[in-house]
Structure 1
Amino acid sequence: MGPGARGTLPPPVPRRRTTAPVRCGGHDVVVVGAGTAGSVLAARLSEDPDRSVLVVDAGPIPRGRAGFGPALLDARLVPGARPGHPATSAHLVRLTPKRPWRVPRGRVLGGSSTVNGGYFVRARREDFDRWAAAGNPAWAYERVLPLLRALETDLDYGAGDLHGDRGPMRVRRSRLDHPAAAAFHDAARALGFPDDPDKNDQASPGFGPVPSNAIDGVRHNAGLSYLPPEVLDRPNLTVVGGCTARRVVVAHGRATGVVVERDGRHRVLAAGAVVLSAGALVTPHLLQLSGIGPRADLERVGIPVVRDAPAVGSGFSDHPQLVLEWAPRDDWAEPPDSWLGGCLHLTSSDGASAGPGGPGDLEILQSLVPLSRLVTGGAGAAGGPLPFLVAAQAPRPTGRLRIRSADPATPLSIDYGYLGSREDRRRLREGVRVTAALLESPPFAGPARGLLGPGPEVLDDDRSLDRWIHEHLGTAQHTCGTVPMGPADDPEHAAVDQFGRVHGVRGLRVADTSILPDTPHRGPAATAVLIGELIAQAIRLDLP
């Protein structure tokens, strides 16, 4: 068994050469979190044999497909949709002041890419260029495109100007031969929406299959893709599970290690550099526990201020989402490969200023598996209702998270701030009404009995529909922007630079969706992998 399999914390290793100066003992780099971006960092940084890398994660570290087991990798299910799934941890949040919710995040090698739906759609060009214009030029679309190509093996399109064929993440688009998917396609055409066969090519939004890292029924998460057993066994890489980070140690303005808890015992892991990849809800908490965050919040709970960073937790964003179920007339067989059907992206009336080729700020995503099966993981009733997932995807940094105690066990106060504006409510109303119109169109007349809710009397009245939306509101779990990137001279809006370096603290970086200034117009799974690639490259090349 190699270092990645032992599950024991190693002693400090002899100092090895790195691309940046190191002034303390321990490993060259300690990565906190073996999730989506953390797996990428571990793999890429350990490609340099002279750099020692230690990765710690609160969850288990399976080895290969056998270690994960078929149930966790079954692409027809979404483990994160199951309440209390052992591969997740739950965060109590408020979507609105009167709408409490539990947000699950992955707690296993690969993080949320292990428990999500396998959706692997790139952010839009407009997202990248918006982030670049906010003081992050390395994130311009033309500059990240080579990395997007390098991280994937596109099984549909192969190598070309837009796609790669040698990357760790295997990508294939969902099949549209299921009767429900075929009806969705025809209904979208009947309503005038264009075809969108490759949602990763930046063409005009419309209807098409979903790019996915689910291949032949198996969800190939980032851990499985970037950290197979042969990578875990590299002599300069150690990945340890069951090890919870509590705070970063900062001395004289430099991160020198991480305090971790394992088996009830605390220990300091010395490091030449620390990278936080614990996810968009845990990473900002770790920063605040380490004295890096809004001064008033830290002083209120008695945490000594290391760096006044008002942008930490002050304006994150996510995608509000609704589930609309409809009743099929026939008892269709379960799809053989994936729960994903087709997907329609369209532009709301509020997003019309972007023009016909804009990013599309509404998403209607089709499930070919009943919600009851996704939630329970058990057998679904044949002919049971099938869901559409309707999300408003315009970047809206309405969220706020605040530390409540210096005790790491005390959860954050997390408010998503959904439905706070007329525009938010209007977008979701339009998404619901388009979904209803699709189901009422001739292509669905044969296969569908109709929408199970809301009814016509609610659909036709804005106030009634707003109430229905609030009562059924959920979230797509696409949290971004809790530790946003941007220039150091804008501390109200930026806590890290474009390569994840924490402003004002040497030797400390963040590498997960925390750093995105706002949520992209598509789910961020593919962008999370890109974050790992981009920041690993910056570390390896010592980019200024």
Structure 2
Amino acid sequence: MLRNVLDQRPDVVVIGAGVAGCVLAARLSEDPGRSVLVLEAGPVPRDLSEFPPELLDARLVPGAWAECRAVQHHAVHLTPDRPYSVPRGRVLGGSGTVNGGYFVRARREDFERWSAAGGADWSYDRMLPVLRLLETDLDYGADPVHGDRGPVRVRRTDLRHPAVAAFAAAADELGLPDEPDKNAQSPPGFGPVPTNAVDGRRINTGVSYLLEALGRPNLTVIGGCRVHEIVVRRGRATGVVIEHGGRRDLLEAGEIVLCAGAFGSAHLLHRSGIGPGAMLRAADIPVVLDSPAVGARFSDHPQVVVEWTPRGDVAEPVGSWFGGALHVSSSDGQYPGDLEILQSLVPMAGLTTGRPAVPGAPLAFLVSAQAPRTDGSLRTRSAEITIPMDIDYRYLRTTDDRRRLREAVRVTADLLASRAFREVSSGRLEPGAAILDDDRRLDHWIRARLGTAQHTCGTVPMGPADDPRAAVDPSGRLHGLCGLRVADTSILPTAPLRGPAATAVLVGEFIAGAMRHDAASGTRGHNGG
């Protein structure tokens, strides 16, 4: 198949069949006059039955397993003294195939920040029709906020499980509001989690978008294909150097779209000589385009786990590992609902080993501070694909970072101490009262247990061409080059106040629409910066 493709020069090459890449390729190939080639480093099942069952089971989180073959692990530092391993999906559907199935929209405040960089098209009111277009909301159907004809089926978690009912009652006891629909921009509070999991099956965009399109003669999807470099000639991206079956080839294309994820897209740009000039020269990579913003910073959210002991056996989850979710605002009130307390109905010992139930094990809340932050950075050390980047999250550097996470842990402790939650719990495991009441000791406890919410955005951020903090325009076109776009969460200047899975689908839809518009107007791939 690949030999035939090499001779044909496809109109568009999409690098990465992840969440956004599957969306983009499916939408672009709706135009029978446009040939689309998708290159994916991982395996590409051609039918739902070819997916390993564990990748579809919504009670499991394959990305949390140390030995999952559908995952690539990145060695990172969350703080200078906190090394960590961060997973990313390497299979059709990308991280959407191995994540939790969380499908919550960004908040209106997120779109306000993004539109400040990307213009009015990135406002919530302009994006709402696209959000409705991509979904079939099985709980609300078609209304001014929700859609009923899109590829992604959305179902909210069941609140009848005893532990979830206790969570709801505890939030009410603390005077926190209900938020029955977390995709409706209501005031933050307690509610079910919107998911792309239906009847116990997590449906990634490879299934919901791309499998339906595989029969189109103008769409080709190739798995097991690594992209080493983007080739640039006279200011235009003209092709890619690929490796497939142990052989390297040059593949020419009319336009190239990077959908390799927030780490992968920036890393490929760096290896191709596109990024901060000084960093590239230090890595002995010839500078093709000095683009200071590529990998200079990224946005993500710190997270810790607070565990509690159930009274007796707890019912095994049926449809999803998620229970309820609570969003509350930190004390400065700057970002409404910036603290997230997400309930797991599967013990951590089960999430990390692929078991939906572990009798006698404690259950957990995943506690995150989700205010926008852009402290992370990527540094490429070599043009060789096998040499990993230096990835530094730089969590807990500021007093606000530490304060927000302390507040989130303390709210979780208040919930566990409530009369309502004591009906199902015999208490939290950690932190103890002496630690909880002391800022310095609680900071130490958090630092020793720190994780990340896996919400990486902003490695190739959008913004005006004259802004050194921006690398692409609002449609993902790289400033300073023609024929090259980025279409994944890399382009979001900051991570949203909610997990970015739904926004990654939105990015794929939006940039596909922009590319269709550009083709119709005769401006395909042009962006001189």
In 2, are the aligned partners of 1:260 and 1:266 still within 8 Å (CA)?
yes
Name the aligned partner's letter for residue 460 of structure 2: V
Specify which of 42, 64, 84 is matched with residue 25 of structure 2: 42
CA RMSD of aligned residues (A): 1.2
Change (3 A) 1:9 1:146: farther
- The aligned residue for residue 486 of structure 2 is 510
When the two structures are superposed, what TM-score results if normalisation uses the length of structure 2?
Answer: 0.97
Matches within 5 A, 1:341-352: 341-350=323-332, 352=333
1:22-71 CA distance string (max 9 Å, x none): xxxx0000000000000001100000000000000100011232011322
Specify which of 188, 196, 200 is matched with residue 179 of structure 2: 196
SS at match of 1:185: helix
SS at match of 2:11: strand
The whole-number CA distance in structure 1 between the counterparts of 2:208 and 2:182 is 22
- The aligned residue for residue 256 of structure 2 is 274
1:164-190 CA distance string (max 9 Å, x none): 000000001000110000000000000
2:189 corresponds to 1:206: yes
2:295 corresponds to 1:301: no
The whole-number CA distance in structure 1 between the counterparts of 2:366 and 2:503 is 21
SS at match of 2:5: coil
The whole-number CA distance in structure 1 between the counterparts of 2:471 and 2:92 is 27
Task: Calculate percent identity across the aligned residue pairs.
Answer: 64
2:512 corresponds to 1:529: no
The whole-number CA distance in structure 1 between the counterparts of 2:177 and 2:288 is 52
Where structure 1 has 5 or more consecutive residues not aligned to the other structure, the ranges are: 1-5, 15-25
- The aligned residue for residue 283 of structure 1 is 265
The whole-number CA distance in structure 1 between the counterparts of 2:502 and 2:355 is 28
The whole-number CA distance in structure 1 between the counterparts of 2:358 and 2:37 is 46
The whole-number CA distance in structure 1 between the counterparts of 2:496 and 2:32 is 35
Deviation at residue 353 of structure 1 after TM alignment: 3.9
1:337-367 CA distance string (max 9 Å, x none): 11000000010013x145xxx3x11000000
- The aligned residue for residue 5 of structure 2 is 11
- The aligned residue for residue 135 of structure 2 is 152
2:240 corresponds to 1:258: yes
2:210 corresponds to 1:227: yes
Deviation at residue 380 of structure 1 after TM alignment: 3.3
Deviation at residue 378 of structure 1 after TM alignment: 3.3
Name the aligned partner's letter for residue 196 of structure 2: N
In 2, are the aligned partners of 1:333 and 1:382 still within 8 Å (CA)?
no
Greater displacement, 255-264 / 373-382: 373-382
Name the aligned partner's letter for residue 524 of structure 1: P
Specify which of 480, 483, 490 is matched with residue 457 of structure 2: 480
The whole-number CA distance in structure 1 between the counterparts of 2:95 and 2:484 is 23
The whole-number CA distance in structure 2 between the counterparts of 1:471 and 1:197 is 34
In 1, are the aligned partners of 2:161 and 2:315 still within 8 Å (CA)?
no
Deviation at residue 12 of structure 1 after TM alignment: 4.3
Deviation at residue 13 of structure 1 after TM alignment: 6.0
2:430 corresponds to 1:453: yes
Runs of 4 or more consecutive aligned structure 1 residues displaced over 3 Å after TM superposition: none
2:312 corresponds to 1:336: no
The whole-number CA distance in structure 1 between the counterparts of 2:5 and 2:439 is 63
- The aligned residue for residue 238 of structure 1 is 220
Matches within 5 A, 1:460-499: 460-490=437-467, 492-499=468-475
Deviation at residue 88 of structure 1 after TM alignment: 0.4
The whole-number CA distance in structure 2 between the counterparts of 1:366 and 1:379 is 14
- The aligned residue for residue 29 of structure 1 is 12
2:142 corresponds to 1:165: no
Name the aligned partner's letter for residue 308 of structure 1: D
The whole-number CA distance in structure 2 between the counterparts of 1:246 and 1:320 is 31
**Matched residues, number:** 520
- The aligned residue for residue 127 of structure 1 is 110
The whole-number CA distance in structure 2 between the counterparts of 1:330 and 1:158 is 38
In 1, are the aligned partners of 2:413 and 2:428 still within 8 Å (CA)?
yes
In 2, are the aligned partners of 1:13 and 1:27 still within 8 Å (CA)?
no
2:292 corresponds to 1:310: yes
Deviation at residue 383 of structure 1 after TM alignment: 3.7
In 1, are the aligned partners of 2:239 and 2:252 still within 8 Å (CA)?
yes
In 2, are the aligned partners of 1:75 and 1:118 still within 8 Å (CA)?
yes
Deviation at residue 503 of structure 1 after TM alignment: 0.4
SS at match of 2:423: coil
Name the aligned partner's letter for residue 401 of structure 1: L
Specify which of 369, 386, 400 is matched with residue 377 of structure 2: 400
Deviation at residue 134 of structure 1 after TM alignment: 2.1
Deviation at residue 381 of structure 1 after TM alignment: 2.3
2:362 corresponds to 1:385: yes
Deviation at residue 379 of structure 1 after TM alignment: 6.0
1:287-314 CA distance string (max 9 Å, x none): 0111110000111112111111000111
Greater displacement, 145-154 / 264-273: 264-273
Greater displacement, 204-213 / 131-140: 131-140
SS at match of 1:445: helix
Specify which of 347, 352, 360 is matched with residue 370 of structure 1: 347
Deviation at residue 9 of structure 1 after TM alignment: 5.1
Name the aligned partner's letter for residue 10 of structure 1: N
2:177 corresponds to 1:177: no
Name the aligned partner's letter for residue 256 of structure 1: T
Deviation at residue 83 of structure 1 after TM alignment: 1.1
- The aligned residue for residue 526 of structure 2 is none
When the two structures are superposed, what TM-score results if normalisation uses the length of structure 1?
Answer: 0.94
In 2, are the aligned partners of 1:329 and 1:383 still within 8 Å (CA)?
no
In 2, are the aligned partners of 1:110 and 1:224 still within 8 Å (CA)?
yes
Where structure 2 has 5 or more consecutive residues not aligned to the other structure, the ranges are: 524-529
Deviation at residue 446 of structure 1 after TM alignment: 1.7
The whole-number CA distance in structure 2 between the counterparts of 1:379 and 1:479 is 27
SS at match of 2:411: helix
In 2, are the aligned partners of 1:136 and 1:485 still within 8 Å (CA)?
no
